[in-house]
Amino acid sequence: MPETASAAGTAGPASRRPVPYYAQWESPELVGAIVTGRATAAQDPRWRESGARSLDEYVRWSGHVCGMACLKMLLAARTGRVEPTIALARRALPHGAYVEEGEWIRGLIYAPFVRFLADEFGIAARVVTEVTEADLPAIMAEAEFFLASVHPDIRWPAHEPPGRGGHLVLVTAASAEAVVFSNPSGHDAASRSDVTLPLAVFGRFFAGRGVAVLPG
């Protein structure tokens, strides 16, 4: 089995407030099977908890809502309320944070997402681009959370990813040594919540862009 992301043996910064964990699929224990093709979203018995109006809607959207799962986590941390993930995506759609193109879904699109946060939740955020992992401590000195674009293989940090970006994780703390984050598509307990990776390891997956959510 590939090595799993783990906090073990890696000293790092502590997250500044407890953040409840939510996966982008409703049954976290199925994520490993879903991302490796051994199961499908249609087999998720908890799909209704997503706010999807049908199983078809859940299947269509659940692979695209890593950003909404990050939002669900930060909203729960701030307010104690749990917002259904697919319902959040439906709310974001008219703001342009997602674009439906036939059978395809494009997004998360950062600038409209920032406007969605402001309009729907009164949350201040800004788009961050053209940075490196070395900039993350300074970003997190100003931000409460950072939705970071990473390659989804970050769940297996020993992998050499084929590229960077394509998936969002919720960074909750960063120092010159390490990054702490929650991964909506973590495949096991060690790769989901409060994962700590050395800064350089995180950088192998980091696309140098994301959304910084400012303190509220």
Per-residue pLDDT of 45-68, as tens digits, reads 999 999 999 999 999 999 999 999
Assign 212 to helix, strand or coil.
strand
In a domain, 14, yes or no: no
In the chain, the largest separation of any two C-alpha atoms, in whole Å, equals: 46
Assign 7 to helix, strand or coil.
coil
Query: In the chain, pLDDT over 70 holds for what percent of residues?
Result: 92
| Domain count within the chain | 1
In a domain, 18, yes or no: no
Q: Residue 196 and residue 202: Cα distance in Å, rounded?
A: 9
pLDDT at 170: 98
CA torsion through residues 98, 153, 169, 33, sign: positive
Among the ranges given (2-6, 21-25, 47-51, 159-163), the one the predictor scored with the smallest mean pLDDT: 2-6
In a domain, 170, yes or no: yes
In a domain, 151, yes or no: yes
Q: Residue 190's CB: how many other CB atoms inside 10 A?
A: 16
Q: What's the domain range around 96?
A: 28-213
Q: Is the pLDDT at 194 greater than 90, yes or no?
A: yes
In a domain, 35, yes or no: yes
Q: Are strands 178-182 and 195-198 parallel, antiparallel or unpaired?
A: antiparallel
CATH classification of the domain holding 80:
3.90.70.10
